[in-house]
Amino acid sequence: MITLIRKAALYAPEYLGVKDILIGDSRILKIAEEIPALDAYDVQVLEGEGRLIFPGFIDSHVHILGGGGEGGFHTRTPEIQLTDITLGGVTTVVGCLGTDGTTRTMAALLAKARGLTEEGITAYIYTGSYQVPVRTLTGCVMDDLILIDKVVGCGEIAISDHRSSQPSREEFARIVGDARVGGILSGKAGLTNIHMGDGERMLSYLRYVAEETEIPPSNMLPTHINRSGRLLKDGIDYARTLGGYVDLTTSSDPDFLEEDEVKASIGLRIMLEQGVCGCQITFSSDGQGSIPIFEKDGTFRGLGMGKVTSLYREVRDAILQEQVDITQALRTVTTNPAHLLKLPAKGRIAPGCDADLVMVDKDTLRIQTVMAMGRVMVQNGTVVKKGTFE
């Protein structure tokens, strides 16, 4: 299929002006101020006037298989559906387990990622869950990365949290090191995705790896860094002094933020104001994961569920409410995660890249059209492609 998008204001994510974009099958073929009519071909034409066009969003932390269970078996969240992802402009996800590495298995996670890929988006996975020793497919983190195409890293490994396995610093460093070497040998990211709790140790384990080993900070991505003001402050110092990367979670309900929790869009503005390089900050949704609420003594109090659609909500709020530069806000869900995950065909609009695109209204920035791998998934705000059982 050949698709021609006409006259959209293009953010790639840097602003390139009003352009035409020619797409062949799943790839971007050409970008120009004007592409002549292709009358000899069966061409799908999408009008972009009055729209901004962005790269498809990358969500690097999604519980595609479901998560939860902290309140008992009935609180296990359901598997994600295709439109839960595409309606939020997300075209690439990295699936993970979470607290439950027993009833949620790596084999099922891999199968779910393959299913989402067959339905039209791009899906990868991390090997492991909260637990240490890491639960893998082959019995080894390094082997999973080398032998299984969909595995791009390890995680989410829980630290500084009452639900973690309380690994030592040395055990944690060994996991990060194995993921790095597995990534080197397979040409993948080898990224370790790290669940940050609100314990007193905060980012000390990551500092240990960055300061006491030869492993670079680019192999670690601590998430939920905005769960409290003090953790955000520690994340700012870690990013500034050691060059570490940090991930802000978008799924917290802005109307019911926990005490001292920081909205992702506000956290982004604060980090930029405090001198953190914009290239070190990512957003992820924690979509379909449970959002448990605990008392200070660890007693379970209540439960919500993360939404992938929150990812762009926080990007949009950063632009419209926090006055963050539009390109900078977009980088948190495009070029930055693409760089960390070593996905060169993702996160950018350029010839040769995958045709993952999001068109939004230029005034409201509301999503209008979503294209994944050259196929329209959402058009004019309406779902075009549903999942198999939707």
Over 80: is that where the pLDDT of 303 sits?
no
Asked if pLDDT for residue 39 goes beyond 80, the answer is no
Examine the pLDDT at 255 and tell me if it is beyond 60.
Answer: no
Tokens 């939920």, residue? 224
CATH topology of domain 2-54+346-383: Urease, subunit C; domain 1 (2.30.40)
Nearest alpha carbon to residue 248 among 229, 259, 113: 229
Residue with token string 């994961």: 289
pTM (predicted TM-score)? 0.95
Q: pLDDT-based confidence at 355, cuts 50/70/90? A: very high
* Fold that domain 56-340 belongs to in CATH: TIM Barrel (3.20.20)
pLDDT value at residue 40: 61
- Contact between 385 and 375 under an 8 Å Cβ cutoff? The reply is yes
Residues that are catalytic: 286
Closest CA to 226 of 192, 251, 201, 244: 251
Cis peptide before 211 (omega within 30 of 0): no
Task: Please give the angle made by the CA atoms of 10, 12 and 15, to the nearest 5 degrees.
Answer: 55
Residue-wise pLDDT for 335-347, tens only, equals 999 999 999 999 9
pLDDT attached to residue 38: 76
What is the per-residue pLDDT across 129-142, written as a single tens digit (0 to 9) for each?
999 999 999 999 99
pLDDT digit string (tens) for 191-227?
999 999 999 999 999 999 999 999 999 999 999 999 9
Percent above pLDDT 90 for the chain: 86
Q: How confident is the model at residue 68 (pLDDT cuts 50, 70, 90)?
A: confident
Domain spans of the chain, in order of start: 2-54+346-383, 56-340
* Contact of 247 with 223, CB cutoff 8 Å: yes
Given this model, what pLDDT does residue 294 score? 64
Nearest Cα neighbor of 374 from 125, 43, 111 is: 43
DSSP state of 354: B
Do residues 155 and 188 make contact, with C-beta atoms less than 8 angstroms apart?
A: no
